[in-house]
Structure 1
Amino acid sequence: MPAIGTAVAVAAGLLVALAPAPAHAAVGATLPFTSVEAESATTTGSRIGPDHTQGTLASEASGRQAVRLNAGQRVEFTVPRAANAVNVAHSVPDGQSGTLDVYVNGQRLAQTLPVTSKYSYVDTGWIPGARTHHFYANSRLLLGRDVQAGDKVAFQATGVQVTVDVADFEQVAGPAARPAGSVSVTDKGADPSGRGDSTQAFREAIAAAQGKVVWIPPGEYRLTSSLNGVQNVTLQGAGHWHSIVRTSRFIDQPSSSGNVRIKDFAVIGEVTERVDSNPDNFVNGSLGPNSSVSGMWLQHLKVGLWLTGTNDNLVVEDNRFLDMTADGLNLNGNARGVKVRDNFLRNQGDDALAMWSLYAPNTNSSFENNTISQPNLANGIAIYGGTDITVRNNLVTDTNALGSGIAISNQKFLDPFHPLAGTITVDGNTLVRTGAMNPNWNHPMGALRVDSYDSAIEAQVRITGTTITDSPYSAFEFVSGGGRGYAAKNVTVDGATVNRVGTVVVQAETQGAATFRGVTATGVGSAGVYNCPYPSGSGTFTVTDGGGNSGWNSTWSDCSTWPQPGQGDPDPDPDRNLARGRTATATGSQDVYTPGKAVDGDANTYWESANQAFPQSLTVDLGSTQAVRRVVLKLPPQAAWQARTQTLSVQGSTDGSAYSTLAAPKDYRFDPATGNTVTIAVNGNIRHLRLHVTGNTGWPAAQFGEVEAYLTS
C-alpha cells in the first residue's frame, strides 16, 4: 500500500504509524506525532486479536490488535522520531485504575502514566444493536527529556492489568508567549492550580476582551458551569499540552454574533456515560458566523462540537478529538460554508464526523483531510441529508459496530429533515478496515455506504478516487436501511482501488442504480457483486459497467444466504428454486399484484399484468448465469381459480439485453385439478428469465402465482 496522508505504513496488513505526510500525499490530516502499534513493539505480554466481533477489546483496537500486560509485564516501543511526550491508548478492566511505570532506554522515570476504566465501558441500551463499548481511553505524559529516533520507551504494568493499543510520540514545543494587549484569565482571578473555580474569571475576561484576546496562561483551570455570550473574541492558550481547562461543558449558547476564535488549549471533561439530554460538549450550539476552532485537545466529553443555530463559514482545523462518548463533531442543520479539516479523531462513541440536516439543510460544507480512527458505535464520517456537501481526502480506519467508514444517507432520525440534494462529492478518501456487522440486520455494512433509509436519493452522488483496504465485509454498499426499499440512484463510482474485502465489492440491497468506472479489485473474499434488493420484489438495482473495471465480475448466486468473510460462492443446490427471492420486473402490473409476488415463494399471491394489453412479459434476474433446465409456473391453487390456458414463450439472456428463445410460443393449460401448475423443459445458460405472454382464456391479462427455475430437468 503506498504512503497515504498521514504516512500510513502497512506491515502484515496492520496500521503501524501515523506521521506527517510527504508533500505529494493528500489523504488524512498532517499530524505532529507518530503512532506506533503495540503489537509491532517488543513485549513480554500477550498479543490479542485480530478480531472484528463487536464487544471485544481486539475489535475496538487500532489495527484490530493490541497487547495485554499483567503485573510485571511490559511493552517496549522503538521511538520513530525525536520526541519529548507520549500519548497512550489503553484499556483496563471495568472498575479499575492504576499506573504504568515508564522506562527510557532501560531507566525508570520518576513519573508514571495513569490508566483508568473511568471513561470506558459505556452502555447505550436505547440504541438497537449496541453492546457495552468504548473500552479504550487515552493518557498523555510529558517525558521531561528528549528522546531520539531509535531510543526505547517501555511501559510496565504494576498493580492492574492493562491492554496497550497504540502510542503517539511527539515533540512538544514550549509554552507560547502571551499576546500583546490580551486580557489574561489570571488577571481576573483564575486559579492555574486547578483547585479553585475559575468560571467567573473566564466570564469577566471574555467581557473585558471584546475584539481582543482572552489569554489562558500555562496551568490547569477548573470551570463548574458553561460559558455563554461568547462573541467577537479570541480565546487562546499557550498550547494544548500547557493550558488545560477542566470542564465537561465549555460553551453552551443558542446563538452568537460570531467572530469567535478558539485556539491552542485543552478542554478535558469528566463525562463517564452518555446522556443525550445533557449538553456535555466542548461547544453546544452556535459560535456564530466567521468563527474558528484550531489547535485544541478535546477529551472525555459527550461531543466535541454539537453545532446548531448559525455557524456560517466556520473553520475547524488542526484539533484532536479523543474519547467522546458520542460524536466528535456534528453539524446539526443550517451550516453554510463550514470547513472541517486536518483534525485527528480517535475513539468516538458515535459518528466521528457528522452532518445532520435537521430543521434546515447543511449547504456547501466539507469534511477534508481528517484522520479518523476507531469510532466504536457508528460511522467514521456520516452525511445525513444536506445540499452540495463534500467529503474529500479523509483517512478512516477501524470502524467497529453499526457503521461504515463513510455513510451518505437519507436517514432522518427526526423531522423536519432535509434529504440529500444537489451534488454530494465523495473524493479521494482512504478507508482501512472499515465496515462492521450490524446485529439489527444480521449482516454487515460496507466500507462506504449509500443509504436511502427514509427516502429515495435524488441527489447526484459522485464517488471518486477511493481506496478501500482490508474491509472485513464489503467495499460499496447500497441499501435502504429502513427496510422500505427506497431507491439509491444517481450514483457514480470512478477510479476506486479495492484491496482485500471479506465478502463482495458491491453489496446492493435496494432498488436503484450505480455506474462503476475504473474500479479494480484484488483479494475478493466471496464474489464481485451481491445484488439482492430488499424487500424481495421491491425493484432492481442496476450495476452498470462503465469500463476499466477488473477483479470483480462475478455475482453471488444465492440470495437466501449471506456470504461470510472468505467464503467462496457455493455451488447451488440442484433442487433449489433459483428464482425465489430474486428481482422480478414486468411490462406492467395491476393494482397490488406486483412482479415480486411471482417470486416470493407463496403461490397464493400472484402477479397480474395490465389488463387488455397483450403482449405482456415478466422477467426474473437470477443473479448470475445459471444452467436452467426446468421452469415451473404456478397459479393460486384455490378452487376459485378456474382452469385457463395461457399462451406464452420462455426466453433467456445473459446480459438482460439480447434474448434467445428457450421454449417456443405454446398454449399451456393451468388446471386446479392438477395443482394449477405447468412444467416447461428448457435448456439455456441464462441469468435473465423472461416469460412472454400473448393470451389468457381465463382473464384478459398475464397471471403467475409463482415462477420457479431449476438446474435439473
Structure 2
Amino acid sequence: MADHRSIHAFRKNRRAQALAAATALATAALGLLVAAPGASAGTVPTGAAPVGLTQVAASAANGSGANLPGMTEYEAEGAQASSNGKLIGPDYTQGDLATEASGRQAVQLTAQGQYVRFTLTAPANAVDLHYAVPQGASGTLSVYVNGTKLSTGLSLTSAYSYISTGGIAGSKTHKLYDDARMMLPSTVPAGSTVTFQVDAGDSALPYTLDVADFFDVAAPAAQPAGSISVVSDGADASGSGDSTNAFRTAIAAAAAANVPVWIPPGTFKITSALQVDKATIVGAGSWYSQLATSAFINNTSAVSGPVNLSGFAILGSTVGRHDDSTANAINGSLGSGSDVDGLWIQDTNVGFWLQYGNSGITVQNCVVLSTDADGLNFNGNATNDTVKNNFLRNTGDDGLALWSMPAPDTGITLSGNTIVQPSLANGIAVYGGSDNTVTGNTIADTNALGSGIAVSNQAFLSPFTPLSGTTTVSDNTLLRTGALNPNWGHAMGAMRFDSYNSAFTDATVNVSGNAVDDSPYEAFEIVSGGGTGYAVSGLTLTDNTVDWTGTTVFQAETTGSASVSGLTASNVQVAGTYNYGYPDNTPGDFTFNQGSGNSGWSTTPVLTAFPTPSSLPPTGSGGGTPPTSAPPTTTPPTTTPPTTTPPTTAPPTTAPPAGTDLALHAAVSDTGHTQDYTASNAVDGDANSYWESTDNAFPQSLTVDLGSTQAVGRLVLKLPPATDWSTRTETLSVLGSTDNSSYTTLSASAGRTFDPATGNTVTITLPAGTSTRYLRLTFTGNTGWPAGQLSELEAYTS
C-alpha cells in the first residue's frame, strides 16, 4: 500500500531523498498503523510534556486505574528515591531508554559505588525492579535493606529484552526493559530504605533503573479442602524435574471428582502446554506458587469451561516475538463463566490470547509484565467478558485489545486497569465489534505506532467485523500518551479514532469524562489510517478534560463529523485545529459540531500543516533529579564493609579514565529539531546518526548534562563521515554551567569548518581549569544547510 507522506529534503547535501514506502502489514495482534494521509512530516518533541506525578498509580484522575492491595510504586527519579547515578530523559525518541521508561525518565548506574535508594512509605516484604542492562549482558545488582547488604543480589539479564521485529514497518528494537523480583528476608516497615547498588562483581554496566514496585505480600494461602495437589501426582516443587505430566494427571483427576487442583508453594517446570477443558486451578499466591513456563494452557478449540485460574505466577523465558505461535501463557479458550484472579505473567510471548468461544469470563487482579506482544487480546468470538483491576507494563504490543476477527467481540468491559509503557502499539485498542466499554483505566507513556486508546476499523486480516452498536470510552486517564508514527512522518494522538479499512457507518462512539494529560502531540486524532479517506461519524465527545498538549487538541485527517461539548482544555501549545482531510486535501473537511461548555481550544485557525510540538524544560513538573548526595535517610551501619556501603556523600571525584567520552549517552536537550533528527543522536556514539535543529530558525542550542561537575578540556564535534556531506562551516559558541542557570562562555562564537576529506571532525580546546556540568552549543549559521547539524558531541578531560 502506498505511503501518502511528503518527501523530506535530504539534509546531507541538499539532495532530495524519497522516503521509503511503507507496506501494509497483515499480521494479527499488531495494532500498528502502516499507511496514513499526510502533507508534511512531524517532529519529536525537543523537550517533553510535563512528567507529572512520579507514581502512575497515584496520578490517575477520576479514581481510574488498578488498585492492587499491598502494591506501592516508586520511580527511580521520584521524590522517594535518592541516587548518585545519572538521570536520563525525559525523551520521546523511538527506541530510547528514557522514552521506554515510566515517566520518560530513569536513573543510570555506570560505575561501582553508584546506587538508587528508595525510602518506603508503606511496609513491604517483596520487590519487583523494572530495569535495563545492555544487550547481551547479564549479572547481579546488590541489594541493601536499611544499610545491610543481602546475601543474594538481584539477578538481571537482557535475554528477554531488545526485541526486533523486522516484519513490522516502522519498528525499531524495543522492549528494552525487563523485570526481576525477589522476596525480602522479612517485612520492612514504612520509613525503611532499600538500596540497589553496583558493588564489586556487579558487572552488567550500565544498569538503568526505572521503577521499583514494592509489595506487602500476604502469607501463603492454605490448600482448599478436598483439592488434589499436583505434588501428590509427582510434581517437583524444586523446579528441577519436569512436572508437566503430573499437572496433566492432577487436572484430569480433579475434573473427574469436580474438585480444585492445588499448586503448593514452589517452582514447577512445565515443558509443554496443557489442554484443559474444565478445571479450577488454585495456587498459594503468585509470589509462592510459580510455574516456569512460557506456555501453560493452549486450548486450540473452544472448550466448555469454566477454566478457573488463581493465585500463581507464570514466569516465561520467551526470546523474541512469535506471531505464528500458540505458545502464549494462556492461549485459545477458557470456555464460559471462567474466573481468572491474581495471576502474575512475565516474559511470555502474549499474556492472554483468547480466541475461541470465551463468554462471561472475568480476568481480574493480575499483573502482566514484559510480554513480547499483547498483554491480553480477545481475538473474536468473545461475549460479555470483563477485564478489571489488572496492572500491565512493558508489553511489546497492545496492552489490552479487542480484535473482532473472525467474529465480533461483543459486550466486553475493560475497567479499572493500569497500562504503562507499551513499547510498540496502543495502551488499549478496540478493533471493530459492538457494544464494548473502556472505562476507568489509566494508560501512561505509550511509544511508537500507538496511542493511549484507539477505536479503529483496522482489519489486519479477514473476515473482520467493523464497529457497530455503541462503543463507550469513559472516565479514563491518559498520561503522556501518543507517539510519532515513523511510517506516517507525523504524530498519533493520545486518543485515536481510525476508519482505517472502513467508515464508521453503523457505529456510535461515546467518549466522556476522560482526562488527557501531558500529551506530547495532540489529544484527539481522527484519521483514516489506510490513506483511503473513509469517514468517521457517530462520534460524540462529552465533558472531557485536556491538560497540556505538545500541539493541538484535535488533529482531523479525514472526512466526517463529531459532536463536542464540555471539553475544557488548558496549556495547549498550538492554537487551532489541524483539519485537512486526505485524500481531498481540503481544509476543514471534518466537521466539529460544538455544543456548550467548551473552553481553552478552538477549531480556528484551521491548520493544514502538521504543527511542531513545543519544547519544555527537560525535567518537566513533578520529576525529580537525583541529588549529588544522599538525603539524611537511614545511614548504613559502621559495621558494613566499606567497599559495599552505599555512600552518604557526593559521588567520588576521581577523574574518569583518560579517553572517556563524558558526554556519551548523557541527558541532552535542544531548542528545536527537525523530524526524528533529535538531540539524543548527538550523544549516541553513532557518527552516522545526527541532530538537526529547526530549519531557518537560528539561533538554536544543544545542551548536554554530564551528570555531575567534571573537568573538561577538549570537545570533539563530528558530522557523519560519509563523503556526500559536503564541506560546511557552522558558526557556534560553547558555553558551560554548573547549575543549568548561569552560563559562562567557554569558546566564543566562531566558524568551525567540517571537511569530509579529514573526517568531518572539529576539535575545540577549552580554557585550562574548565569545570562544568552542562555544555551548551549555540549555533547561529551553517553554510551547508539553514540549521545546526551535529552527529556527535564528545567531551574529554584532557
Q: TM-score range with shorter-chain normalisation?
A: 0.7 to 0.9
* Equivalent in the alignment of 2:101: 61
| Map of 1:175 onto structure 2 | 220
Deviations 1:274-306 (Å, cap 9, x if unpaired)? 011112211111111111211000011111111
Q: Which residue matches 1:27? A: 64
Q: Deviations over 1:63-121 (max 9, x none)?
A: 00000002321011111211111111000000001111011121111121111111111
8 Å CA contact retained: 1:453, 1:479: yes
Question: CA 1:51 to 1:424, structure 2 compared with 1: closer, same or farther past 3 Å?
Answer: same
2:610 is aligned to 562
Gap regions ≥5 residues in structure 2:
1-48, 617-798
Does the 8 A contact of 1:85 with 1:142 survive in 2?
A: yes
1:242 is aligned to 288
Could you list the per-position Cα deviations for residues 209-261 of structure 1 after superposition, in whole angstroms to 9, with x for gaps in the alignment?
A: 01210000000000110100x13320010000000001111111122111111
- Of the three residues 362, 369, 380, the one matched with 2:409 is 362
Normalised TM-score (structure 2): 0.68
The corresponding residue for 2:594 is 545
Alignment of 1:274-313 (within 5 A): 274-313=321-360
Partner of 2:490: 443
The amino acid of 2:543's aligned partner reads: G
C-alpha contact 1:285 1:308 (8 A) present in aligned 2: yes
Aligned equivalent of 2:185: 144
Retained in 1: the 8 A contact 2:143–2:194? Answer: yes
Partner of 1:127: 168
Distance 1:433 1:415, change over 3 A: same
Counterpart of 1:640 in structure 2 is none
- 1:489 — aligned with what? 537
**CA deviation vs aligned residue, 1:592-635 (integer Å, no higher than 9, x gap):** xxxxxxxxxxxxxxxxxxxxxxxxxxxxxxxxxxxxxxxxxxxx
CA displacement at 1:556 relative to structure 2: 4.8
Determine the C-alpha separation between the residues in 1 that align with 2:188 and 2:59: 22
Distance 1:431 1:363 in 2: 24
Secondary structure in 2 aligned to 1:491? strand
Q: Normalized per residue, which structure has more strand? A: 1
**Aligned runs of 1:41-52 on 2, under 5 Å?**
41-52=81-92
Q: Which amino acid aligns with 1:58?
A: A
Tell me, yes or no, if the aligned pair for 1:352 and 1:380 is still in contact at 8 Å.
yes
Between the aligned partners of 1:558 and 1:312, the Cα distance in structure 2 is 46
- Amino acid in structure 1 at the alignment position of 2:100: E
Report the secondary structure of 1:209's partner residue: helix
Deviation, structure 1 residue 19: 5.4
Query: Could you tell me whether the CA contact under 8 Å between 1:21 and 1:30 is conserved in 2?
Result: no
Q: Specify the SS of the correspondent of 2:359.
A: coil
CA deviation profile, 1:312-363 (whole Å, cap 9, x unmatched): 0011000000000000000000100011111000000000000000011111
| Structure 2 counterparts to residues 459-608 of structure 1, below 5 A | 459-537=507-585, 540-553=589-602, 555-559=604-608, 561-566=609-614
Amino acid of the residue matched to residue 197 of structure 1?
A: D
Task: Indicate how the Cα distance of structure 1 residues 442 and 90 shifts in structure 2: closer, same or farther if over 3 A, else same.
Answer: same
1:556–1:440 distance in 2 versus 1, CA, 3 Å:
farther
1:36 aligns with 2:77: no
1:432 match: 479
SS in structure 1 opposite 2:232? helix
Residues 532/21 of structure 1: CA separation in 2 closer, same or farther (3 Å cut): closer
The whole-number CA distance in structure 2 between the counterparts of 1:475 and 1:19 is 21
Match of 1:159 in 2: 203
The answer to whether the 8 A contact 1:99-1:114 is kept is yes
2:512 corresponds to which letter in structure 1?
T
Deviation string 1:392-417 (CA, Å, 9 cap, x unpaired) is 00000000110000000000001110
Instruction: Flag the structure with larger Rg.
Output: 1
Mark the CA change 1:554 to 1:259 in structure 2 (over 3 Å): closer, same or farther: closer
Give the superposition deviation at 1:25: 5.5
Report SS of the residue matched to 2:224: coil
Q: How many pairs were matched up?
A: 555
1:16 Cα deviation after fit: 1.8
Q: Decide whether aligned partners of structure 1 residues 373 and 473 sit closer, same or farther in structure 2, where only a CA change above 3 A counts.
A: same
For residue 474 of structure 1, report the CA deviation from its aligned partner: 0.5
Distance in 1 (alpha carbons) for counterparts of 2:526 and 2:437:
19
Residue 225 of structure 2 is aligned to residue 184 of structure 1: no
Instruction: Summarize the alignment of residues 250-269 of structure 1 with structure 2, pairs less than 5 Å apart.
Output: 250-253=296-299, 254-269=301-316
Q: Does 1:233 align with 2:283?
A: no
Describe the SS at the equivalent of 2:152: strand
> 1:160 is matched by which residue type in structure 2?
A
Q: Secondary structure at the match of 2:250?
A: helix
Q: CA deviation at 1:529?
A: 1.3
The answer (yes or no) to whether the contact 2:419–2:442 under 8 Å persists in 1 is yes
The SS at the match of 2:252 is helix
Query: C-alpha distance in 2, partners of 1:484/1:567?
Result: 33
Q: Is the 8 A contact 1:18 1:31 kept in 2?
A: no
Structure showing greater relative contact order (alpha-carbon pairs closer than 8 Å, 6 or more residues apart): 2
Secondary structure, counterpart of 2:295 in structure 1:
coil
The answer as to whether partners of 2:222 and 2:284 remain within 8 angstroms in 1 is: yes
Tell me the CA shift for residue 17 of structure 1: 2.3
Q: Distance in 2 between matches of 1:556 and 1:227?
A: 59
Tell me the distance in 1 between the aligned counterparts of 2:369 and 2:158.
Answer: 15
For residues 12 and 232 of structure 1, what CA distance do their matches in structure 2 show? 49
Give the aligned residue type for 2:318.
V
Residues 549, 572 of structure 2: 8 Å contact kept:
yes
Shift of 1:20: 8.2
Question: Residues 364 and 379 of structure 1: is their aligned pair in 2 closer, same or farther, counting only changes over 3 Å?
Answer: same
Alignment pair present for 1:222 and 2:269:
yes
Q: How far is 1:557 from its partner?
A: 4.6
Which of 83, 89, 93 is 2:130 aligned to? 89
Backbone CA RMSD of aligned residues: 1.7
Aligned counterparts of 1:491 and 1:373: Cα–Cα separation in 2: 26
**Secondary structure in 2 matching 1:51:** coil
Structure 1 pair 427/138, CA: closer, same or farther in 2 (3 Å)?
same
SS at 1:327 equivalent? coil
2:435 corresponds to 1:394: no
Question: Shift in Å at residue 547 of structure 1?
Answer: 1.2
CA distance in structure 2 between the partners assigned to 1:287 and 1:263 by the alignment: 13
1:592 maps to what in 2?
none
Give me the whole-angstrom Cα distance separating, in 1, the residues matched to 2:578 and 2:227. 61
Residue 674 of structure 2 corresponds to none
- Contact 1:318-1:341 at 8 Å conserved across structures: yes
Deviation at residue 535 of structure 1 after TM alignment: 1.4
- Equivalent in the alignment of 1:271: 318
The one-letter code of the counterpart of 2:448 is A
Q: Is the 8 A contact 2:62 2:440 kept in 1?
A: no
Q: Take 1:36 and 1:556, find their aligned partners in 2: how far apart are those partners?
A: 42
Among the aligned pairs, what percent are the same residue? Answer: 53
- TM-superposition CA deviations, 1:130-149 (whole Å, max 9, x none): 00000000111111122122
Following the alignment from structure 2 to structure 1, what is the Cα–Cα distance between the partners of residues 428 and 100? 17
1:112 pairs with 133, 141, 153, which one?
153
Residue pair 1:304, 1:328 contacting (<8 A) in 2 also: yes
1:421 aligns to what? 468
For residue 391 of structure 1, what is the amino acid of its counterpart?
A: V
Q: 1:386 to 1:207 in 2, by over 3 A?
A: same
What does residue range 325-336 of structure 1 map to in structure 2 within 5 Å? 325-336=372-383
Deviation at 1:545, TM superposition (A): 1.1
